[in-house]
Amino acid sequence: MDVNAYAGLMMITNLFCFLLFGWDKRKAVHHDWRIPEYVLFLSACMMAGIGAYCGMHLFHHKTKKTLFRIGIPLISAVQILLIAMYLPTVL
């Protein structure tokens, strides 16, 4: 896969995950139907950990849940390491 295409795909998935956290926070404030936690967590696992981390902290959403407080930064760190390992091989 082309590096530019991969970067574009990552930007889209991170934006989607970021917006998903914001949407769920809005639903929580209005006591409306919620997005299941496993959907939020799995979306972060789809190479969108940075978007999840940013959304979690910007919207102050799921910051007290241990799974999210530890899991999302861990997922982000692993994804950053994978990118750092993969990037030099394609440049």
Mean pLDDT of the chain: 93
- Model pTM score: 0.89
Question: From CA 11, how far away is CA 7, in angstroms rounded?
Answer: 6
- Contact of 18 with 51, CB cutoff 8 Å: yes
What 30-39 contacts at long range (C-beta under 8 Å, 24+ apart), as own/partner pairs, is 37/62, 37/65, 37/67, 37/68
Q: pLDDT tens digit string along 17-42?
A: 999 999 999 999 999 999 999 999 99
Q: Residue 2 has what pLDDT?
A: 80
Question: From CA 23, how far away is CA 2, in angstroms rounded?
Answer: 31
